[in-house]
Amino acid sequence: MTTIHLIRHAPVAPEFLVNCYGATDVPVAPVCERISAGLARVLPRPAAWYVTPLSRTRATAEAIFAAGYDAVGLSLAPAFIEQDFGALQGIAHDVLAQHLKRPPHPFWIIDPDEVPDGGESSTQVKARVGPALEALAARHDGGDVVVIAHGGSIRAAVAHAMDIPMRAAMHFSIRNQSLTRLLRNGGGWHVLGVNEQVSV
């Protein structure tokens, strides 16, 4: 059995929240030490650790290390990067609807099947995250894996594990620094927890 522990990165710096940032590399706000300490306490030891190419995931991992988890090497997991919104990235949220091809999902900024110009749909995110999730489980068979990722890619991982469309997975809330745990065994995937809030 392999357990994948998915953590959404810490909140983005407030001045960047007004625009759609998606796969843009934007900095985090000061990371909550209390939540970082809680994650340091509950995350398994040993574990293989992964971050995405975006600096906000590495900053979140380093905050957990600083809060009490013995630092380990961080490997890259590019397939877990946030959804690429293409031409929509950099557009202010209050005018984003004017640039959409169809109404957005109630719990996401665009419809899960909309493909922005130069970008990807949420459904396409699931298509890249699913095989990467399977590969991690196979590579670390019998162990624990920690992946610092993003709201979109974590929902995609849950959708893959549950074999549900992204339209349904959008109903899961994935808060910053929350923990989602997926267990892979010979019979498939078990969802152990989604959007768990951990603190001391």
Residue 153, H or E segment:
helix 151-162
CATH of the domain at 172: 3.40.50.1240
Give pLDDT, residue 187. 82
What is the reported pLDDT for 11? 97
**Helix (H) / strand (E) containing 190:** strand 188-196
Mean pLDDT of the chain: 97
Report pLDDT for 199.
86
CA distances in angstroms from 83 to 53, 102, 114, listed in the order given: 13, 17, 12
Q: What is the dihedral of CA 155, 159, 162, 167, to 10 degrees?
A: 110
Range of the domain at 16: 2-196
Is 200's pLDDT higher than 80? no
pLDDT digits (tens, 9 = 90+) for 57-107: 999 999 999 999 999 999 999 999 999 999 999 999 999 999 999 999 999
Q: How many domains does the chain have?
A: 1
Does residue 90 come out as left (phi exceeding 0), alpha (psi in the -120 to 50 range) or beta? left
What values do phi and psi take at 141, rounded to 5? -55, 125
pLDDT at 186: 83
Mean pLDDT of 2-16: 97
Q: How confident is the model at residue 30 (pLDDT cuts 50, 70, 90)?
A: very high
pTM over 0.85: yes
